[in-house]
Structure 1
Amino acid sequence: MSETTTELPVVVIGAGPAGLAAAAHLLDRGITPLVLEAGPLAGAAVREWTHVRLFSRWGELVDPAAEKLLAPTGWVKPAEDTYPTGGDWAERYLQPLADVLGERVRYRARVTGVSRTGRDRIVDADRDTQPFVVHIEHTNGREERAFARAVIDASGTWSTPSPAGASGLAALGEKAAADRIAYRVPDLKDPAVRARYAGKRTAVIGSGASAFTALAYLADLAKTDDGAGTKALWILRRGISGSTFGGGDADQLPARGALGLAAKTAVDAGYADAVTGFRTDAIERDADGRLVLVGEDGRRLDAVDEVIVLTGFRPDLTFLDELRLGLDERLQAPVALAPLIDPNQHSCGTVYPHGVNELSHPEKDVYLVGMKSYGRAPTFLAMTGYEQVRSIAAHLAGDQEAAERVELTLPETGVCGGAGLFDEPAAAEETGGGCCAAPATLTIGAPASSGGC
């Protein structure tokens, strides 16, 4: 790379937790970052789940380099052992950090393409010596280009939720029923949203943290006067086993374990019926306009009023199409990282911290970090992203010893043999690791009419 190229900034795509931490680490290393954020504020995706409480504490959600950057401004770190909501995280940490970065962060700037200057993905000649060219589209329609010495894509996966269809494609009729389907945990404090689910029968498809949260929220709604009659139908692609509800008290992140226990309590109390071994193939409307889920085995479930699909997220790779990425064919994660995070094998905190070596691609100096680095895998924690960008910044600064040094110990989930959990509100549907019970519908632990054990 020429001297002129090394003087260019490192473009960071996304002003979320990983992107802003990347900028802080780059500055700490004397490298100029340029953060491009499609939304109007920092943490745009986080702000879409302001009502959801994280299961990581503040002490695990503030990046050290970011804290160093914030300290001279008089910023006060929240109590380390408390749990913020998404709204707290955005307002009390992400936005102040972006404000400190100032003009290095550009809002309403959506990246639509990344390539090497004068080189499409076919051309080999002098490829690694050419700077990156980043195409940007602003909300007013204006287009521009930025040039970079390296690109760190921290755009996340929030904008591309997975569909209800068990095949990975939208179920037949899913798009036509879009007015009755949501792909996020509902904010039941919002009167309009509350009215949508109160007293209704709602199918919740998914088996991760978001599904647990949605089940608990709907159960709480059912206990209120205006929510009487609220009922959930929990759709699982596998059977119910000892790991279905997470690690519980064995989880080293207590609030993460509590999520599963809250969902179990909701189900045990009879606020939800669980449908196991059900793989959604189609969503149809009945004569009353309600939705009927049809399984791959031909089963038709009783009609529901609403459907909440929480089956995970997937990366948007379209704007990286001119780059030579080395991605695992299953997870769409970097090839060297994929075996470490494969949900078929890892769910109990066995993924060790990783950095530039695992995140590198055939295209030199381009990195996918944060949730996007995990592709479709469901085990990401914010602190993992902070370690990733620390390592990458050290590498770009020429400090390979620091880049390869592990500076993080990850907490174990206390669960083996099932899907893991995200820090951000993502839900991981089962992706393998064995199937359990045959298709069945059951109410678990419904209120007993007599004694028993």
Structure 2
Amino acid sequence: MLAPQAIDECRSKGVTVSASTTDQLPVVVVGAGPIGLAAAAHLIGRDIEPLVLEAGPSAAGAVRAWAHVRLFSSWAEVTDPAAEKLLAPTGWVRPDGAAYPTGGDWVERYLQPLADVLGDKVRYGATVTGVARAGRDRVVDSGREEQPFTVHIRTADGIEERLTARAVIDASGTWSTPGPAGANGLPALGERAAADRISYHVPDLKDPTVRARYAGRRTAVVGSGASAFTALALLADLAEEEGDGTHAVWILRRGITGSTYGGGEADQLPARGALGLRAKAAVEGGHASAVTGFRTEAVAREGDRLVLVAEDGRRLDPVDEVVVLTGFRPDLSFLGELRLGLDDRLQAPTALAPLIDPNVHSCGTVYPHGVTELSHPEKDVYLVGMKSYGRAPTFLAMTGYEQVRSVAAALAGDREAAERVELTLPETGVCGGAGLFDDPDAAQGGSGGGCCAAPTTPLISIGAPASSGGC
């Protein structure tokens, strides 16, 4: 194989780099999380050299950040078959498929071992700062598809480097770009100034320092998905353990309906259904109070406390802390010189967006998809994993594993396998979104893409074995 450095040296000497030479370059995978590592495993299974670039010092940095949170999917649903094949010769023992790991378990018993098996195919401390066609900016058409990609990185030491790749798979996720409290998608007035009292991730209440921050205090939880359920359940536990003074104020942009707490006992992922029921118990038990139809416009200081102000002028009683769990969004800043086809609402690939749009679909109607839906005007660039969903919720690991299986097949020239997709997706139980679904009155009436339909487990078969996973 011709190394990227050798390709660059050839170009610097004026030597032509042919398409056949480009095919010998590695496929750069951005992000060593669950889907990025699975992408590398599938590429290896297709005899394609991967190079995984991870900004952090170890694999699965985002998962490590929520190591204290238990997944609502079992072990059987969060390991990838191609990755297991790589792990098997090392003596790796597959965890009990019926057990539910925490994020920390997932890292320790599967993700880091997988990264270790990949060895020098994973490079740590490498932040991708830009991707482009070699010698072609976004405007230039001539000879574009014949050129490899140039990937700009910054090392942990601050050194800039350039790598060359035949294709780019962006599995960098969305963890680093959480949504704000502001209902219009931008930070609320005063939100940045109150950053010392606002968190955008589920707090780890087992950490003594973090626990002291919330014990005996009023905490506003902004959001309506699984993360918000988790925070409410944890704060309710804290209230029972610490006694009076610990209370959560749950901020909802819409009204409370039968679907507010998810699928409950009807959820095809039982642990997720139980999580919604725990959140419901927190409200009914008096450990949390719900404020509905509240669209945050401002965060005001009142002494040492914060006051949330809605668009309609309502002001809530002061709280000590705010936990904002309004979802995540993709960071597209380093892809600006590529020709991406993205939906103007979800920031997901154009062909994928209609299949996952929460304005249209109820929870269980996500359809199978692979390389066709993930393709862009820029050939051989793919956004996969959570990043492929843009701002849409309810992504499952199984979806990402199937995505990278399909992409790897396409890069190997096996279009039949790439287009052959089979997924068994459980009823998602929890939806979110904007449009009518986010409107309190519409939610009460059950219109506008509400959630959820009668529990089903749709099997959509186009001839390939089903992949498993979910988180």
State whether structure 2 residue 319 is matched by structure 1 residue 304. yes
> Following the alignment from structure 1 to structure 2, what is the Cα–Cα distance between the partners of residues 395 and 429?
32
Which residue is equivalent to 1:377?
A: 392
> Following the alignment from structure 2 to structure 1, what is the Cα–Cα distance between the partners of residues 283 and 52?
44
Letter in 2 for 1:245: Y
Write out per-residue CA displacement over residues 5-56 of structure 1, whole angstroms, 9 at most, x where no aligned residue.
0000000000000000000000000000000000011000100000000011
> Following the alignment from structure 2 to structure 1, what is the Cα–Cα distance between the partners of residues 282 and 210?
20
List aligned pairs for 1:38-437, cutoff 5 A: 38-224=55-241, 226-286=242-302, 288-413=303-428, 415=429, 420=431, 428=432, 430=434, 432-433=436-437, 435-437=439-441
* DSSP-derived class of the 1:281 partner: strand
CA, structure 1 residues 142+297, in 2 after alignment: closer, same or farther (shift >3 Å)? Answer: same
Which residue is equivalent to 1:445?
A: none
Q: Gaps (5+ residues) in structure 1? A: 421-427, 440-453
Which residue is equivalent to 1:31?
A: 48
Structure 1 residue 353, shift from structure 2 partner:
1.8
> Following the alignment from structure 1 to structure 2, what is the Cα–Cα distance between the partners of residues 308 and 437?
25
> Following the alignment from structure 1 to structure 2, what is the Cα–Cα distance between the partners of residues 172 and 138?
35
CA, structure 1 residues 113+187, in 2 after alignment: closer, same or farther (shift >3 Å)? Answer: same
CA, structure 1 residues 429+345, in 2 after alignment: closer, same or farther (shift >3 Å)? Answer: closer
* DSSP-derived class of the 1:273 partner: strand
Structure 1 residue 434, shift from structure 2 partner:
5.6
CA, structure 1 residues 432+102, in 2 after alignment: closer, same or farther (shift >3 Å)? Answer: farther
Q: Does the Cα contact within 8 Å between 1:312 and 1:429 map onto a contact in 2?
A: no
Structure 1 residue 433, shift from structure 2 partner:
2.1
* DSSP-derived class of the 1:195 partner: helix
Query: What TM-score do the two structures reach when normalised by structure 1?
Result: 0.92
Structure 1 residue 406, shift from structure 2 partner:
1.2
* DSSP-derived class of the 1:389 partner: helix
Structure 1 residue 405, shift from structure 2 partner:
0.7
Structure 1 residue 432, shift from structure 2 partner:
3.7
State whether structure 2 residue 31 is matched by structure 1 residue 14. yes
Q: Does the Cα contact within 8 Å between 1:276 and 1:437 map onto a contact in 2?
A: no
> Following the alignment from structure 2 to structure 1, what is the Cα–Cα distance between the partners of residues 165 and 442?
53
Query: What TM-score do the two structures reach when normalised by structure 2?
Result: 0.89
Write out per-residue CA displacement over residues 376-428 of structure 1, whole angstroms, 9 at most, x where no aligned residue.
00020001000000000000001111101113211112x4xxx62xxxxxxx5
Structure 1 residue 430, shift from structure 2 partner:
4.8
> Following the alignment from structure 2 to structure 1, what is the Cα–Cα distance between the partners of residues 66 and 438?
32
Q: Does the Cα contact within 8 Å between 1:277 and 1:438 map onto a contact in 2?
A: no
Q: Does the Cα contact within 8 Å between 1:391 and 1:402 map onto a contact in 2?
A: yes
Which residue is equivalent to 2:456?
A: none
Q: Does the Cα contact within 8 Å between 1:174 and 1:282 map onto a contact in 2?
A: yes
Letter in 1 for 2:53: L
CA, structure 1 residues 269+429, in 2 after alignment: closer, same or farther (shift >3 Å)? Answer: farther
Q: Does the Cα contact within 8 Å between 2:217 and 2:320 map onto a contact in 1?
A: yes
Q: Does the Cα contact within 8 Å between 1:134 and 1:145 map onto a contact in 2?
A: yes
Structure 1 residue 435, shift from structure 2 partner:
2.2
- Give the number of equivalent residue pairs: 426
Structure 1 residue 346, shift from structure 2 partner:
2.0
Structure 1 residue 139, shift from structure 2 partner:
1.1
* DSSP-derived class of the 2:158 partner: coil
Q: Gaps (5+ residues) in structure 2? A: 1-17, 444-471
* DSSP-derived class of the 1:127 partner: coil
Q: Does the Cα contact within 8 Å between 2:75 and 2:99 map onto a contact in 1?
A: yes
Write out per-residue CA displacement over residues 333-364 of structure 1, whole angstroms, 9 at most, x where no aligned residue.
00000000001122322112210000000000
Q: Does the Cα contact within 8 Å between 1:42 and 1:95 map onto a contact in 2?
A: yes
> Following the alignment from structure 1 to structure 2, what is the Cα–Cα distance between the partners of residues 438 and 147?
50
CA, structure 1 residues 252+67, in 2 after alignment: closer, same or farther (shift >3 Å)? Answer: same
> Following the alignment from structure 2 to structure 1, what is the Cα–Cα distance between the partners of residues 278 and 420?
38
Q: Which moved more, 1:335-344 or 1:249-258?
A: 249-258
Which residue is equivalent to 2:7?
A: none
* DSSP-derived class of the 1:111 partner: strand
Which residue is equivalent to 1:444?
A: none
Letter in 1 for 2:90: T
Write out per-residue CA displacement over residues 31-86 of structure 1, whole angstroms, 9 at most, x where no aligned residue.
00000000011000100000000011100100000000100000001000100000
Q: Does the Cα contact within 8 Å between 1:356 and 1:404 map onto a contact in 2?
A: yes
Which residue is equivalent to 1:423?
A: none
> Following the alignment from structure 1 to structure 2, what is the Cα–Cα distance between the partners of residues 167 and 152?
31
Q: Give the fraction of aligned pairs with identical amino acids, expressed as a percent.
A: 76
Structure 1 residue 106, shift from structure 2 partner:
0.1
Structure 1 residue 250, shift from structure 2 partner:
1.2
CA, structure 1 residues 186+430, in 2 after alignment: closer, same or farther (shift >3 Å)? Answer: farther
> Following the alignment from structure 1 to structure 2, what is the Cα–Cα distance between the partners of residues 438 and 203?
24
Letter in 2 for 1:388: Q
